[in-house]
Amino acid sequence: MPELVFFSGTMDCGKSTLALQIEHNRSARGLQGLIFTRDDRAGEGKLSSRLGLVTDAVEAGPGLDLYGYVVEELSRGGRVDYVIVDEAQFLLAVQIDQLARIVDDLELDVFAFGITTDFRTRLFPGSQRLIELADRLETLQVEAMCWCGARATHNARTVGGEMVVEGEQVVVGDVAQSAAEVGYEVLCRRHHRRRMTSATARAAALSPDVLPVTAT
């Protein structure tokens, strides 16, 4: 039976790499897939991995009817054996409903990839709807690590290395951004609660207050 499967994890845990691997494995068997993405770091209409792999995709903007797009592709004589959706957390809830309809009415497997919560630890609407509708939820087993070495479970937004907890829910950035830009860092819950990023931890370690003092 076809399924709607939601693969989730923090940033930097290999979601896009797995999406590209599924595409490779299935296309190698002669199957043809349709790939959607939204706000990928490589630019519009791209699905990219931090390992350097990239492929073309359909940009799933807020006005795109995903079910209608697949139906139109099939009506033109195109072949669609499965659907892959990366950055699914950015989709509207109604677009997730459309993915479920692709599975139920067109009998196609849909593999969705995304992070569950934003930098404030609040569910993205797309991820929430996927949790509500998916036939299967899969947590990626490649664990991202906090700067302290613990398993990273939360996504933090940073500006100049400092963690911020206010702002729009969707601001595109990456874990590799320079310190002066809006970027993201994965943290364990303890350090997310304390708003302690790798930069602030280094600053604290170098503070004169914690350095040994030698009498002259």
Dist CA 149 CA 146 (whole Å)? 5
Which residue reads 């569910």 in tokens? Answer: 123
- Of residues 23, 87, 138, 166, which has the active-site annotation? 87
Bridge-based pairing state of the strands 162-164 and 154-159:
antiparallel
3-state secondary structure (DSSP) of residue 212: coil
87 is catalytic: yes
The residue type of 181 is E
The residue type of 54 is V
Dist CA 201 CA 162 (whole Å)? 10
> What angle (nearest 5°) sits at the alpha carbon of residue 48, between those of residues 15 and 109?
55
Beta bridge partners of 189: none
Dist CA 51 CA 16 (whole Å)? 9
Q: Which residues are catalytic?
A: 87
